[in-house]
């Protein structure tokens, strides 16, 4: 009896499978590296926004802590709340320099108050200009009378 054997050529198939697996693996590693770099940049930017917000809030709270209405040596007075600006060095681990500016608009009516607009700006690591702006109203109320009950 005559038998026929069929031999398939299978050499090189394993090598091709390994090459395809390597390409998929390299694609995954590239995606992870890109994600990691994006995560570092986003984390740095979030830290800068938090620092900018803290700087703006602290300036408004500083103005709110006035001790008297009229200018007095050694004390922050309501009348001393005026427009200005300053440059602030970055906190440790942060590579940004912040510029904090504020404009104060005074309104004299039956209720005297000032509108304080604080803007903190900086340049991020991608050389893009960023800023945060807070607005608050500060009423003219003598701190001496702050504990008195009116009625």
* pLDDT tens-digit map of 41-56: 788 888 889 999 999 9
DSSP state of 62: H
Examine the pLDDT at 77 and tell me if it is beyond 80. yes
Cβ(134)–Cβ(57) below 8 Å: yes
**Nearest CA-CA partner of 97 in 63, 60, 125:** 125
Cβ(62)–Cβ(89) below 8 Å: no
Q: Give the tens place of pLDDT for each residue, 82-111.
A: 999 999 887 666 678 899 999 999 998 788
Strand partners, 111: none
């Amino acid at each position: 009896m005559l038998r026929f054997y069929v031999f398939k050529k299978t050499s090189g198939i394993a090598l091709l499978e390994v090459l395809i697996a390597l390409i998929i693996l390299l694609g995954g590693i590239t995606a992870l590296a890109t994600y990691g770099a994006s995560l570092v940049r986003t984390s740095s930017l979030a830290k800068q926004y938090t620092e900018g917000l803290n700087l703006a809030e602290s300036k408004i709270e500083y103005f709110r802590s006035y001790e008297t209405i009229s200018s007095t040596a050694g004390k922050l007075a309501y009348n001393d709340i005026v427009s200005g600006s300053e440059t602030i060095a970055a906190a440790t681990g942060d590579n940004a320099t912040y510029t904090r500016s504020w404009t104060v608009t005074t309104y004299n009516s039956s209720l005297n108050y000032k509108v304080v607009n604080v803007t903190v700006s900086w340049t991020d690591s991608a050389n893009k200009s960023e800023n945060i702006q807070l607005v608050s109203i500060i009423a003219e109320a003598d701190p001496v009378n702050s504990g008195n009950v009116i009625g």
